[in-house]
Structure 1
Amino acid sequence: MEHLSYAYGKNHYLEDPDLRAVLAHFWPEARDREAELADWGAFMGREVYEAAYHVDQGAEPVLVMHDLDGRRVDRVRLAPVQRQVLERLRPIVRPPYEGGSWHHHFALGYLLADPGLYCILTITHQVAYPLHKYAPDLGAWKERVLYGDAWGATWMTEIQGGSDLGANRTVARREGGVWRLFAGDKYFASGAGLADVAVATARPEGAPAGPKGLALFLVPRLRADGTLNFTVRRLKVKSGTRAVPSGEVELEGSEAYLIGRAEEGIYYTLETLTVSRLANAVAAMGIAGKAILEVRERVQRREAFGRPLAAWPLVRHDLLELAVRQAGGLALAFAAVDAFDRAWADRPPYTERYHFARFLSHLAKNRTADHAAAITRLAMELFGGLGFLEEYAVARWHREALITPIWEGPSNVQALDLLEAMQKKRAHEPFLAWLEERLARRSEPGAEAALAAARRTLAELAAAEPEAAVWTAKTALARLADAAAVAALYGLADGPGGRYRELAELYADRFLRGEPFPAAAAHRTEVFLPGRGPS
């Protein structure tokens, strides 16, 4: 790997000033965990980086349908290095359940970022989440998922519905003392063949049509008699991440355990989806951060026309673009994490603070995916011809980043969910109050631009006819996210100082005012190549 990647062997925590600044602002306890975070950063930069690249280059999971005795097992075979690394990564899922914070959990997820490995951990974690909160009677499964030998999965959508959960056809029938699930065709089931237990949506017989009739169930891989409880039809061949097995799962008479109250199942489902959207946002910026690690080393080593790449004005402009997008996206992601950390104990019908956290999750999930795709594409370009060769690490990060706008709901879904949160829950009101608290007293032009853009956008949405509001919802989603990113960056500026104040202004220029970066920024090396000082 040392011949394929500039980021390999580096400590991914110590090399990331933006992460350290974000944690110092949103999670002051991080200072007491510096040694742990640095250890994780070293692990991510060497063993994990190497293992993920190895799996991606041809050691992806393989479905094994039968054992030596001819019995159906539907298990995936993982490369030994992937299985070993996953076991060492498992503690990432534990902090929220050990009295810790979501900042801790997502900081480790950001450092990992690799979509295949991180996806396996997030879907495992999303089994523990509803069990911890709503099903103490199933606590033995939670313990196995968090501390034992069990891997988990979340299987919600079906082929005929996609993001429309209300179109699900899986039926839940109570037979004696056990629930059974029938006609379940979970067509994109991440963790298929690996999961020992999954959470899945199904409609109890007699429940109303639509999403509110869905309940959430725990579905083990094996029935009580030890036989297979569901079957894996096949694994998907994906154009993106290759480390996570994803396939088609059939539920036909599958034994299941009801989680919490059946009539609240859709709320539990959407909560776990909120957690996964936050993970998606954090992973998007983590992917982008790894591409930036590659680029910052490359532009200082590579010479063109007699000068290092980093000395040329157009390359500096690109580096500034990377720095502005990365800092803004990461600050936005952890602002959403912080809001969720304060609200996650809330239960249906929820409080204003939970609706605000959900509102921010839509903004963060969508905008970070945009930034990750743009950052990794530009990183490939800065590598020149090498950037498009699969044998070098930077190419993979763009391919992986392109997953993040699709997983956990594309931008159309995020925009519609945002409108629903506004219209039904008035979630934009605490959002605007949050912005005003952070921006109204500031005199910087960027603060004024961000607050004005948010007020104008919300007013336009409120005044629009329903169809017109939907038509402009994606534009509004991005504009509100950019206002929130500027507010979050100013929060960092009040801690580490001037670099983030400057980044906030540059972000507002670029994404809210539509203005080019000022020419003087070409000499602000400490902004786009932090650690090198002015030049």
Structure 2
Amino acid sequence: MTNQAPPLTDYDVFSADAALAEGVARHVAPERAEQARAELSELGGAAGSAQAQEWGTQANECPPVLRTHDRYGHRIDEVDFHPSWHRLMERGVAAGLTDPWSRPDGQLRRSAAFYVWSQVEAGHGCPLSMTHAAVPALRKEPDVAAEWEPLLGSHIYDYGLDRPAGTKAGAIAGMGMTEKQGGSDVRANTTRAAPLTGNGAGSGEYTLTGHKWFCSAPMSDVFLVLAQAPGGLTCFLVPRVLPDGTRNTFLIQRLKDKLGNRSNASSEVEFDGTTWARRIGEEGRGVATIIEMVAATRLDCVTGSAALMRQAVAQAAHHAAHRSVFGKVLIEQPLMRNVLADMALESEAATTLALRLAAAYDSAAGEGTAAAHDRALLRLAVPTAKYWVTKRCVPLAGEALECLGGNGYVEESGMPRLLRESPLNSLWEGSGNVQALDVLRALQRSPESLNAFLTELGHARGADHRLDAAVKDMLTQLSDLDGIEARARRLVERMALVFQGSLLVRFAPPETADAFCASRLGGDWGTAFGTLPSGAHLKTLVERALPVS
């Protein structure tokens, strides 16, 4: 057998990614840099192993199965997974992907690990993401947080609904927010919450009646859901197993048959009036209670899409480095090199942005001027990044698949799975329109967020004339409020690009920053990948993106 690329396996996913490794070194505290590098390199070796890749394949080829009843007709509402799913979850939990809270630089190190491990298989990232993101919401009720936070932050994966969560070594969280009639408009939810004691102010215990059209990870130990209490839309905690060991009423009606993300169970569930729940936060403050959870999962959408883009580029570049066409290795063909360089540029920009946001989360938890700046920055930068990075994932995955030719269209290559997965993060936690409108909302209600955003861009002022011109154009768009809602996507795209450009000008190699500003900001860029302008350092860009195998 000749002229076939070997499998991209048994390599360190972290160390082979220059943009990721450099970004972690840049943002993590110097005294913790070596430990972070060693931990991520170990996880990167596991992610690049043939064993882990086989787990990812098996988890998708053998998707979860709903078991509504046992052999005797008793309602059980359980979901069966292939053993490979549990191996992936076990390794992810052990790597701290549910726990950014227990150590300094926790969010940065956790996001980098999420980026690495997501490249093995994206579906199981959903429960890992929701488990870590549930903690800020639970902290609205300190006694509830004291009970659940140690379980959700545990590094032990303890699967099963055979006992109460309090007797387990670790727990996983899901969520159920959207309903048929409302979708992203959660204020249209009709699920009702009836207090068990007076108005609920005493015990905080309620019963729920209603449905959830999308309930993620229904095999989890506990869920955060929204329901209409007497005081308005409210957040609730719903455990699958009650403290006395009995099953809470949690009726799984069916699993969704999805385009991608097939290893992960997404479901429709119903609450029948006996479903026990605990209030989290004040009645009528449901959206405010979960907003930090939404922000954390939106960051994971950015990180997950950046990870998928990186894996797609790695596979395409690896193939091109080993495949010869018309007497020359593909990676040396000028047009193919342009395609690979353009995709590598997109991937690095996404990675650099995701890491900056993760570092801002760590900073925002502190005190002082820098913390206040990053808190304000995140309010605007997260929906901006979520909109743009997740949107870029689909065309990049398709282009990377094409780099493998017909082989890329065959399931065995793994590229179809990447392509099917690529639209998900743009939909999860609010589609593109929701993100764009949220940016407008932040601009109108949180002027300090725009000040922080402009301050961030100001760190690169004068470094590249194309970046400076693009920032000026963005400010012009911001000053014209006529029809701003209809133009929101154009505005948010420009904001995302100038943010990425400013970061690359500050931190990336000159060849990378120059190519980005020339194409994305200078106007010399086509509608498809592979249209970088002449003068771009294509060979340097491609070599920087090559995985080491």
The two structures have a TM-score, normalised by structure 2, of 0.87
Comparing 95-104 with 400-409, greater Cα deviation is found at 95-104
Q: Distance in 1 between matches of 2:138 and 2:8?
A: 38
Superposed CA deviations along residues 100-154 of structure 1, whole A, max 9, x for unmatched, are 4210110011012232011121122223332246434342222222222422101
Unpaired runs of at least 5, structure 1: 208-212, 494-498
Shift of 1:256: 0.8
> Is 1:64 equivalent to 2:67 in the alignment?
yes
SS in 2 for 1:7: coil
Residue 63 of structure 1, CA deviation:
0.8
- Compared with structure 1, are the counterparts of its residues 103 and 328 closer, same or farther at alpha carbon in structure 2 (3 Å cutoff)? same
In the TM superposition, 1:494-509 aligns within 5 A as 499=509, 501-509=510-518
Match of 1:101 in 2: 106
Residue 520 of structure 1 aligns with an amino acid whose one-letter code is G
Cα deviation, residue 520, structure 1:
2.9
Distance 2:141 2:44 in 1: 34
What is the match of residue 483 of structure 1?
498
- Report deviation, 1:69: 4.0
- Equivalent position SS for 1:183: strand
In the TM superposition, what whole-angstrom CA distance separates every residue of 1:70-112 from its partner, at most 9, and x where no partner exists? 3211111111121122112112111323444210110011012
Question: Alignment RMSD, CA only?
Answer: 2.2
User: How is 1:78-477 mapped onto 2 (pairs within 5 angstroms)?
Assistant: 78-90=81-93, 91-113=96-118, 114-132=121-139, 134-147=141-154, 148-176=169-197, 177=203, 179-192=205-218, 194-205=219-230, 207=231, 213-225=232-244, 226-253=246-273, 254-344=275-365, 353-426=374-447, 427-436=449-458, 438-440=459-461, 442-460=462-480, 464-465=481-482, 468-477=483-492
What CA distance in whole angstroms lies between the structure 1 residues aligned with 2:330 and 2:467?
A: 33
Letter in 1 for 2:23: V
Q: Which amino acid aligns with 1:252?
A: D
CA distance in 2, matches of 1:185, 1:21: 46
1:518 partner letter: P
What's the CA shift for 1:55? 1.4
Alignment match, 2:157:
none
Name the CA shift for 1:304/1:294 in 2 (closer, same or farther; >3 Å). same
Find 1:44's aligned residue among 43, 47, 53.
47
Letter of the 1:141 counterpart: W
- Contact persistence 1:222–1:228 (CA under 8 A): yes
Does 1:53 find its partner at 2:60?
Answer: no
Partners of 1:4 and 1:132 lie apart in 2 by 50
Shift in CA distance, 178/252, structure 1 to aligned 2, threshold 3 Å: farther
Deviation track 1:189-248 (CA, whole Å, cap 9, x = no partner) reads 1112x111101111211x2xxxxx322111001345513321111111111111110000
1:397 CA drift (Å): 1.0
Q: For 2:430 and 2:5, locate their aligned partners in 1 and report how far apart those are by CA, in whole Å.
A: 33
SS of the counterpart of 1:97?
coil
The aligned residue for residue 544 of structure 2 is 530
Structure 1 pair 134–23 and aligned structure 2 pair: CA distance change class (3 A): farther
Aligned residue type for 2:343? L
**2:58·2:82 contact (CA, 8 Å) conserved in 1?**
no
C-alpha displacement of 1:4: 9.5
Q: For the Cα contact (< 8 Å) 2:319–2:404, is it kept in 1? A: yes
Structure 1 residues 118 and 259, CA gap change in structure 2 (3 angstroms): same
Q: CA deviation at 1:321?
A: 0.8
CA offset at residue 5 of structure 1?
7.5
Letter in 1 for 2:228: R
CA distance in 2, matches of 1:24, 1:490: 17
Distance 1:531 1:149 in 2: 37
User: Contact between 2:124 and 2:263, CA under 8 Å: does it hold in 1?
Assistant: yes
Q: What amino acid is aligned across from residue 215 of structure 1 in structure 2?
A: T
For residues 264 and 33 of structure 2, the distance between their equivalents in structure 1, rounded to whole angstroms, comes to 30
Paired amino acid for 1:392: S
Q: In structure 2, what residue type is equivalent to 1:50? A: E
Whole-angstrom CA distance in 2 between matches of 1:156 and 1:353: 28
The answer to whether the Cα contact below 8 Å between 1:5 and 1:394 also exists between their aligned partners in 2 is no
Conservation of the 8 A alpha-carbon contact between 1:64 and 1:75: yes
Q: Is the 8 A contact 1:4 1:393 kept in 2?
A: no
For 2:457, the aligned partner's letter is L
Conserved? CA contact 1:445–1:505, under 8 Å: no
Deviation at 1:456? 2.4
Query: Hey, what's the Cα distance between the residues in 1 that align with 2:228 and 2:104?
Result: 34
Q: How far apart are the structure 2 equivalents of 1:453 and 1:154?
A: 40
Letter in 2 for 1:183: T
Measure the CA separation in 2 of the matches of 1:127 and 1:246.
18
Q: Distance in 1 between matches of 2:103 and 2:25?
A: 21
**Partners in 2 of 1:35 and 1:142 — Cα distance?**
27
Cα deviation 1:305-341 (Å, max 9, x = unaligned): 0101111111011011111101111112222222222
Question: What secondary structure does 2:66 align onto?
Answer: strand
Distance 1:4 1:283, change over 3 A: farther
Distance 2:365 2:194 in 1: 31
Secondary structure of the residue aligned to 2:317 is helix
Q: Which residue of 2 aligns with 1:210?
A: none
C-alpha distance after superposition, 1:463-498 (max 9, x if no partner): x23xx11000011111100000011112313xxxxx
Counterpart amino acid of 1:512?
L
Q: Distance in 2 between matches of 1:229 and 1:409?
A: 28
* Cα pair 2:172 2:220 within 8 Å, conserved: yes
Shift of 1:531: 7.6
After alignment, is 180-189 or 309-318 more displaced?
Answer: 180-189
Q: Give the partner amino acid of 1:35.
A: A
Name the CA shift for 1:246/1:264 in 2 (closer, same or farther; >3 Å).
same
**Quick check: which one's helix share is greater?**
1
SS in structure 2 at match of 1:290: helix
Residue by residue over 1:344-383, the C-alpha shift from the partner in whole angstroms, topping out at 9 and shown as x without a partner, is 479xxx9664342121101111111122222211111111
Stretch of structure 1 that moved more, 38-47 or 89-98: 89-98
Q: Which of 516, 534, 544 lines up with 1:519 in the alignment?
A: 534
Do 2:175 and 2:215's aligned partners in 1 also have CA atoms closer than 8 Å? yes
Q: Which amino acid aligns with 1:250?
A: E
Distance 2:36 2:27 in 1: 14
1:20 maps to 21
Structure 2 unmatched runs, 5+: 155-168, 198-202, 526-531
Letter in 2 for 1:432: L
Letter in 2 for 1:93: T
Distance, in Å, in 2 between the alignment partners of 1:379 and 1:504 is 22
